[in-house]
Structure 1
Amino acid sequence: MQSGTPSALDPAVAVRLKRDAQGLVTAVVQQHDTGEVLMVGWMDDEALHRTLTTGRATYWSRSRQEYWVKGETSGHVQHVKSVALDCDGDTLLVRVEQVGAACHTGDRTCFDAGVLTVSGGSA
């Protein structure tokens, strides 16, 4: 665990997680009603536990080395509607009701920075 103390995450959930070398799982965050992908964050067992028990999206900040609740300082809150684990156990899909911007730049989504051109292949 990032905090150095055991998490209260349900052991039945914890055993299903496949964490990276830092003990983290990727969290893809999606607007629950439109399917819009808002951002990507990182969760360890404790962040997931906090997310599931509070209904507020909580992440592990790799740069600050601390937990952060989305919107705690900005007011751009994520109310969690559901959390799903992918088939490999290494990615979470967090479906939220986003209040305000999801991106730290102030944009609605972190994926507004520019679409890349695809020139090959067929549909």
Structure 2
Amino acid sequence: MKLLTVNFLTCAVKGCKGSAASFPLHFEDAELEQREIGYNPTFLSNILPRLDWDAITTTALELGFTNLPATKPDGSFETADEHKVMRDLHTLLMETEVVQGKMVCRNCGHAYQIKEGIANFLLPNHLV
């Protein structure tokens, strides 16, 4: 499961709809794997406006990535620092995969299991 997808996931439990604590889902016991993918600055520039930067930085810190800035880059690539941030963002979002673990909602505590890189979002009947 690529970390990019986490930016678009929220808890599916009915009682969590509208709760700020249901996004982002937080990783626990995450086993990470790096898979090199060609760097695509155009893709990053296009996806950047859609990213919730607070969610991305929270997830990054929880997984041990400490090199993203507190504020979202503008994607201009005008400076060497901007290039480095975009490279780091590429590594985090595109090359880092969670192969095992779980994502937990901070609102209701429900855990979504991740096995072999696939998250299980099927809910038991009592939570639908």
Class of the TM-score when normalised by the shorter of the 2 chains = under 0.3
TM-score (norm 2): 0.24
Higher relative contact order, structure no. (Cα contacts within 8 Å, ≥ 6 residues apart): 2
Higher strand share: 1
